[in-house]
Amino acid sequence: MKKLIKYNLLDIVRNRIVLAYTLLLALITLSVFSLEDNAAKGQLTILNLILYIVPLVCIVFSTIYAYNSVEFIEMLLSQPVRRKTIWLSLFCGLSGALSLAFLAGLGVPLIFLDQSRTGILISLAGVFLTVIFVAIALLAAVKTRDKAKGIGVSVLLWMYFALLFDGIVLFVLFQFPDYPLEKTMVGITMLNPVDLARIMILLKMDISALMGYTGAVFREYFGTNAGISVSFLALTLWALLPFYFSLRNFNRKDL
């Protein structure tokens, strides 16, 4: 098990795309902080960037990597190795390598330049998003046999979480202005890890104006600290559940 994770991890870390991703993140962090004097503004810019870039890179890269590993998985399956071990090591390899890339490119420079708790929280949120979108990518890859279709599904899922979800929520709100939807909204926010990560950080930064509707409700409902804990918990579930379903599917899959 450990060995397989190590092999997967080394293979992914050496990938040029992952290297480019690290450099891109580092470039963004450094340039944002050299342009902005105000640390909070810098954090916000970075936050908005990672909420889009991290999920996109993680989901697309992981989907493609999962498809490219099919033959490797087949080779391992002809050896006495559990299916669970193979899939788990793919998941750990991908999320480990991409988290490392994220931390090296963004987390460490951010914590170094910024030296605030928020920086740590942003890094943590980035790692969460990485793991979550790797899990979603694996689920998409295991469910669709065709590579092009699988990558398409992944991109659509990213669009849904990053762009469409907020639109749908707003649409629902405007359709039912007379109903007390606050509690429902808290529940609905749980359905989107990107929103959860955003709210978690904005709660910490305490910028009400930018929190948006769901964020404001969240704070009112849970308070700052409990709100952060709840979003943590929900994010953990977001990482575990898609992976669990992908594993179940992989165990029954014909290769």
Partner 1 sequence: MVEVSGIYKRFGRLQVLSDVSYRSTKGDCTALIGPNGCGKTTLIKTLLGMVIPDAGTVKIMGEEVNRKWRYRTHIGYMPQIGKYPENMRIGQVIEMLIDLRKDCASPDEELLDDLALKKIYSKRMGTLSGGTMQKVSAAIAFLFRPDILILDEPTAGLDPVSSEILKDKIRKEIGKGRLFLITSHILSELDGLVSHVVFMQEGKIMFHKEVKQLQTETGEARLSRVVAQIMLAGK
Q: Which residues bind partner 1 (CB under 8 A)?
A: 3-4, 7, 11, 14-15, 68-69, 71-72, 74-75, 77-83, 251-252, 254-255
Q: What minimum distance in Å lies between the beta carbon of 86 and partner 1? A: 10
CA nearest to 117, candidates 208, 204, 233: 204
Q: For the chain, what is the largest distance between any 2 Cα atoms, rounded to a whole number of angstroms?
A: 62
Q: What minimum distance in Å lies between the beta carbon of 106 and partner 1? A: 24
Q: What minimum distance in Å lies between the beta carbon of 77 and partner 1? A: 5
Q: Which residue type occupies 209?
A: A
| CA–CA dist 196, 192 (Å, integer) | 6
Q: What minimum distance in Å lies between the beta carbon of 53 and partner 1? A: 24
Number of other CB atoms surrounding residue 132 within 10 Å: 29
Please say which residue, 3 or 175, places its beta carbon nearer to partner 1: 3
Q: What minimum distance in Å lies between the beta carbon of 47 and partner 1? A: 33
Please say which residue, 92 or 217, places its beta carbon nearer to partner 1: 92
Please say which residue, 15 or 184, places its beta carbon nearer to partner 1: 15
Alpha helices in the chain (DSSP H): 2-13, 16-35, 39-68, 70-77, 83-102, 108-114, 117-143, 147-159, 165-175, 182-189, 193-205, 208-222, 224-251
Please say which residue, 148 or 255, places its beta carbon nearer to partner 1: 255
Please say which residue, 6 or 155, places its beta carbon nearer to partner 1: 6
117-143 and 39-68 helices, crossing angle to 10°? 20
Cα-Cα end-to-end distance for the chain: 21
